[in-house]
């Protein structure tokens, strides 16, 4: 049996892996899963394995919070021997985290083909750790699974020219790797499967006494917005101002909570009128909250897409985005890291063009990726 090695470490990766793990099994491919421990709280890790029915990881590295260099180094130290012992035919990494980079580097050093799911994304801001991670990972990968045509075009500008989008299993004798393919977005696969499940299972609206379209969901977690206490305080002031016109539900990322606790600011923010600060929630609960929201305020790449898929207006508190398609659709607006009048910006937002969802595929990305992996390992 063909065996592959998957590296996971952060909550978006757990969610994406649900779809691809099922597709790999259907293709007769055995998967060995390593959890780096980059996200380690129950609310950020184990809850997703339980809720989505993911198989427990075969190895857990228990790497906790540290500097980028320390975290990546510890992951490399744990992943290299695990890959060497397992001898997989390919290593799968997702997205743009330190776990992504460590998995790709460990595999490349061992001469194991690297499969990058969500390849080709570019914010063109090298000050973002995520941008460095995704660029380096792309350039050591053998199979680049892009979620959109724009991602393929980004890679083409960087010299990648073996586009195999038109076929699920390329002729390996004719086309050497690295291969690139527009396979669609795995998150669309997951959302389409779980949207009705979330609606039937989640009790978040009842628990928080929320009415559909009468609240906004806000999230902040990126280092550019949370590492600096002054920057974070400025954003929270704007969110608190928004909460004076519409209720704001704020699932608090552990990184954000730690900064606020260190500055003794959490209680002040959580006590603002209209603000409902809560612990991180599961995928199904967050999906249900987002689907029924009047709008979303976030710095998350994944939520920008999810908002478009759900037809919910999104305000992104960043200066740029790797998901330019969401802005082109009209459903996402970049308001910058120092926004003003979020309420006014939200009032003028539309839900975006549903036609743009087609740019993210047909909800069959996982099956297409599995077919390409099978072709790759037979090369």
Annotated catalytic residues are 221
Report yes or no: 122 and 36 within 8 Å, Cβ to Cβ: no
- As a whole number of angstroms, the distance between CA 148 and CA 264 comes to 42
In Å, what is the CA distance from 110 to each residue of 76, 79, 337, 377?
11, 11, 40, 15
Tokens 């909550």 correspond to 11
* Main-chain dihedrals φ then ψ at residue 207, nearest 5 degrees: -65, -35
The residue whose two tokens read 């009128």 is 273
- On the CB side of 277, CA atoms within 13 Å amount to 19
């Amino acid at each position: 049996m063909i065996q592959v090695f998957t590296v996971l470490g952060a909550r978006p990766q757990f969610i994406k892996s649900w779809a691809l793990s099922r597709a790999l099994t259907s293709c007769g491919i055995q998967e060995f899963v390593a959890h780096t421990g980059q996200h380690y709280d129950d609310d950020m890790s184990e809850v997703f394995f339980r809720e989505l029915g993911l198989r427990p990881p075969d190895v857990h590295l228990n790497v906790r919070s540290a500097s980028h260099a320390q975290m990546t180094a510890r992951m490399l130290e744990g992943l290299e021997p695990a890959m060497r012992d397992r001898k997989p035919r390919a290593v799968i990494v997702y997205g743009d985290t330190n776990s992504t980079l460590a998995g790709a580097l460990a595999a490349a050093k061992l001469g194991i083909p690297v499969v990058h799911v969500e390849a080709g994304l570019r914010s063109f801001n090298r000050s973002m750790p995520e941008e460095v991670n995704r660029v380096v990972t792309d350039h050591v990968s053998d199979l680049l699974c892009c979620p959109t045509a724009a991602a393929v075009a980004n890679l083409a500008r960087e010299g990648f020219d073996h586009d195999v989008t038109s076929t699920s299993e390329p002729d390996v004798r004719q086309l050497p790797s690295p291969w690139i393919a527009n396979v669609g977005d795995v998150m669309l696969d997951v959302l389409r499967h779980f949207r009705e499940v979330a609606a039937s299972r989640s009790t978040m609206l009842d628990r928080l006494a929320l009415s559909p379209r009468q609240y906004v969901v806000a999230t902040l977690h990126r280092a550019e917005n949370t590492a600096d206490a002054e920057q974070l305080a400025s954003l929270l002031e704007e969110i608190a101002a928004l909460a004076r016109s519409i209720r704001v539900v704020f699932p608090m990322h552990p990184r954000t909570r730690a900064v606020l606790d260190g500055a003794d600011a959490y209680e002040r923010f959580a006590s603002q009128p209209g603000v409902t600060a809560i612990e991180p929630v599961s995928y199904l609960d967050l999906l249900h909250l987002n689907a029924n929201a009047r709008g979303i305020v976030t710095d998350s790449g994944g939520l920008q897409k999810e908002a478009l898929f759900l037809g919910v207006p999104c305000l992104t508190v960043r200066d740029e985005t790797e998901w330019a398609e969401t802005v082109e659709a009209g459903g996402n607006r970049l308001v910058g890291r120092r926004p003003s009048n979020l309420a006014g910006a939200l009032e003028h937002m539309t839900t975006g063009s549903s036609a743009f969802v087609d740019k993210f595929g047909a909800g069959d990305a996982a099956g297409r990726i599995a077919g390409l992996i099978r072709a790759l390992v037979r090369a």
